[in-house]
Amino acid sequence: MPAPDDPAQAENETTAQGAPGGGTRVPPPESAEELRRAGHRALRAAFLGFFVDMFDIYLPVVVLGPAMTYFQPETLSPALKSTLFDLIFAVSLIGRPAGAALFGHWGDKIGRRKVTIVSMAGFAVVTLAIGLLPGYEQWGLASIAALICLRFIDGVFLGGEYTAANPLAMEYAPKQKRGLWSAIIHTGFPLALVVMSVLTIVLLGGISSSSPHSAYAVWGWRIPFFVGSLFASGVLLYYLRCVPESRVWCAAEKVKSPLAELFRGANGRIFAQVFLVMSGLWFMLNAAISILPGVLLTVRHVSSLTVAWAQLAASLALALTHIPFGFLGQKIGRRAFLALFGLAGWTAGSFFYYLLVRSGYRNAAELMVLTTLVIFCTMSAWPNVTAYLSERFSTGVRASGYGVGYSAAIIIPAFSSVYMLGLHGLGIPYEYTQIVILAVGGLLTMIGALAGPETRDVDIA
């Protein structure tokens, strides 16, 4: 194999110890047009899958907030209510690394498509089961325990979706369009928040949510969970009928133990650098998306409807900027792009967050503007993540590297609510502790990006 010219490509070209006989041979496409259509189907499916994944993972943040009284006793303090609210979200994040390790290994061994199908079926069933749960008055503390357990299992299956589906799509992407394709896939995230916010606004506007016995608390919150299960079932059918396996994977040398290979030699060094970048991104995301609504609802006592409108406005703005930022990442490179938005989160994002929780929450319009600015500064790096992670790992360990690198970095930030209680114990007002979380995230993202090479010109095949 000739030595690659690009240093990042040289780092990615690690030795793959495959099974005898090399890669799985597949017939070439009949034409360039067939290959293009196959790629577009894989891209469309990855976008839809990521939309459903994000819809499912953030259902508790957007939908369950106004209904938490249904699952917990009313005597808890505001800080404990906020912490419990955050932990329900955190357990699903903790399940994702386990799912990424499991499904990533098999995604490299038996194929991206098969793994995506299994994971989609799994979280379609679990999401439906959550929507059928009884509340505290029926099951006592067992209701919240069941919710936590199901969210963990849900996280395991969700960890398999993007682990296989996103590398599958990127292995079809033309090199000069990888930034665009990555952004299209990640647009599923803000669009999922938009749909959830609209559903919540409609439900809260049409039915009561003021007590544990209100219509929203008893049954209204269930509707988005049923919708999420239907979405997942639809994407599952699309994969079964329309999406082909990755030709890059089929032709590649198969690694005997992808998960073990991921932590050896050059792959191990790549993983450590990716872990640093992703840890920073997850710290910022948790502060802006999962923690902020809970603080506004339980500490600042902002109405559920106002918070939902603010999240809707911020998510729409984020969705509109994803594609331009995909082009920008392709233009200036992933390394510079990630470092730039790490800096933005660390500085401007923290400042806007401070203004929001100090006094900006008192006026609905100001709350919407500041929430949008916080999310813009902390979430705009994500459009290039799928391209970046796919470019960092070689084909034999790409699903494992993508999935574990993306998901293992969730674990430490997932306990941000616990760190906030610790910071509060040191004397920082609770409503300001998440600013420390946000600033740490931005700093880690910037340092991690600068520690790695540029990847946009790497040949991922």
Q: What is the pLDDT of residues 144-181, one digit of tens each?
A: 888 888 989 998 999 899 999 999 999 999 999 999 99
CA-wise closest residue to 134 among 66, 202, 217, 209:
217
Q: What was the pLDDT predicted at 126? A: 93
CA-wise closest residue to 255 among 107, 101, 119:
107
Over the Cα atoms of the chain, what is R_g? 21
**Domains of the chain with CATH codes:** 32-451 (1.20.1250.20)
CB atoms within 10 A of CB 275: 18
Distance CA 142, CA 136 (A): 8
Amino acid identity for residue 254 in this structure: K
Distances (CA, A) of 52 to 36, 123, 197, 357, 386: 24, 10, 14, 31, 16
Contact criterion met (CB below 8 Å) for 157 and 20? no
pLDDT tier at 328, thresholds 50, 70, 90: very high
Between residues 445 and 303, which one has the greater pLDDT? 445
Q: What was the pLDDT predicted at 289? A: 83
Q: Would you give the DSSP letter of residue 254?
A: P
State in Å, rounded, how far the first CA of the chain is from the last one: 13
Query: Is the per-residue pLDDT at 389 higher than 60?
Result: yes
CA-wise closest residue to 144 among 255, 54, 67:
67
pLDDT digits (tens, 9 = 90+) for 208-228: 766 667 788 788 888 888 988
Query: Is the per-residue pLDDT at 18 higher than 70?
Result: no
pTM of the model: 0.83
Here the tokens at position 177 are 């369009």
Query: Is the per-residue pLDDT at 19 higher than 60?
Result: no
Distance CA 100, CA 362 (A): 41
Distances (CA, A) of 362 to 174, 315, 368, 385, 432: 48, 21, 11, 35, 16
Distance CA 78, CA 335 (A): 41
Contact criterion met (CB below 8 Å) for 20 and 200? no
pLDDT digits (tens, 9 = 90+) for 42-80: 999 999 999 998 888 877 766 777 777 777 777 767 667
